[in-house]
Every structure is written in C-alpha cells, then in structure tokens.
Amino acid sequence: MQFLNSNNYFPDVTNATEDGLLAVGGDLSAERLLFAYQKGIFPWFENDDTILWWSPDPRFVLYPKELKVSKSMKQVLRNTDFTITVNKDFDAVIKACAEAKRPGQDDTWITKGMIEAYTKLYQLGHAKSVEVWQNKQLVGGFYGVDLDNGVFCGESMFSKVNNASKAAFISYVQNTDYKLIDCQVYTNHLESLGAINIPRDSFLGFLE
C-alpha cells in the first residue's frame, strides 16, 4: 500500500493488499479519477476518512450477453408503469444513492466530495445516470463511469419502490453495446443478474 502525492501516479495493482487496497490519499480530481478507472482502480472510503483506492482480485463483473432476467422481472418490465431515462437527472440520482439506507452501513461512502467529483465527470461526459420514474417521481436508478472503451463501471444504485434499480440496470444493459460492466465487488443483488468474479488480470485485459 502506498501514500499518494499530488501527481496522478498509482502503484502497480499487483501491490494491492489481499483485500484489494492499493493506495491512500491523493484527491478526487477528474484527471486522477479517470486515470484510476483506466488502470482498474476505484475510490471507496467511509465519510470523512482519508481517500482509499482499491483494485480487488478477483473482480466482480457482468458480461452483458450473460445478463439474467427472471420471469418475474420480464413481467415487471412488460407490465410496469416505469419510465426509464438516461442522463435526465444525474444530480438527483447520485444524491439519492448517497441517502439510501443499506444493511450494515451506518453512514454513506458517497460523501459531498464524491458527489462533486462524479458530477464533474458527468459534466465532462465521462459519467452517466439512469433514472426510473413512476408517476413522474424518481423512484430508482444508478450512476457510473463510461470509459469509452466498451467498459462501464457501475458505482451505486438505489430503489424507492420494488424492482426499480433492477429495471434500470436491465434496461440499460440490454440497450447499450458495452462488452463488460464492472461491478467492482460482490453483491447478491448483482449476482442474481448474472455478475461473476473473474481474475483481475482478465479484467485489466478489457481495459487495454
């Protein structure tokens, strides 16, 4: 593990600890964030803590062609009154993700600084949001980073009604041409949609 200085340098990801922690410190400038994602590295830290940078091995990813859509979700997508949009309200999505209550998590890792950093990426065209609307109210969605090389790095999602985030994710994956969705670390929710662990080296190959 290495402490970062003012430049955008990161150590080789093979220097990460067993749980994937690679470096500490630095900043959340757009330049550093993009450089990190292009190297298979992402920030993740608790509120008010020092910035922590991660590159876990294995990496949790979804191959879009392997997306699993259950019969019940197919019915939801056919019959629901959800309206799904892209980049209609990035600000509302990232703030809703920050405010979402999650099991075993007392505070949010989507700090004010993180919101500002990813909003800047959005303004530069490198981040995207997907929104789910019901009766003109935002009820779910997610946001992430588009690396412009066929890889989308999902960051966080939220649901205020059942199946809203799943509907957003499934719709987005089915209607885009990404070769890989980076889910970063394991969750039951994304495993149910077809995400799997692959070696970090295999993931880095997609980034190249």
Q: What is the pLDDT of residue 103?
A: 52
Residue 112, SS3? helix
User: Which CATH code of 3.40.50.2000, 3.40.228.10, 3.30.70.3550, 3.40.50.1820 fits the domain covering 2-56?
Assistant: 3.30.70.3550
DSSP annotation of 102 reads B
Q: How far apart are CA 180 and CA 168, in angstroms?
A: 17
The model carries a pTM of 0.93
Residue 127, SS3? strand
Q: What is the pLDDT of residue 149?
A: 93
Q: What is the pLDDT along the chain (208 residues), one digit of tens a residue?
A: 788 987 778 999 999 999 999 999 999 999 999 999 999 999 998 766 789 999 999 999 999 999 999 999 999 999 889 999 999 999 999 999 999 875 555 556 788 999 999 999 999 999 999 999 999 999 999 999 999 999 999 999 999 999 999 999 999 999 999 999 999 999 998 999 999 999 999 999 999 8
> Is the preceding omega at residue 103 within 30 degrees of 0, hence cis?
no
Whether 95 and 101 have beta carbons less than 8 Å apart is answered as no
Architecture of domain 60-207: 3-Layer(aba) Sandwich (3.40)
Q: What is the pLDDT of residue 3?
A: 86
Domains of the chain, by residue range, sit at 2-56, 60-207
Q: Are strands 21-25 and 59-62 parallel, antiparallel or unpaired?
A: unpaired
How far from 182 is each of 34, 37, 109, 203, CA to CA, in Å? 14, 10, 18, 9
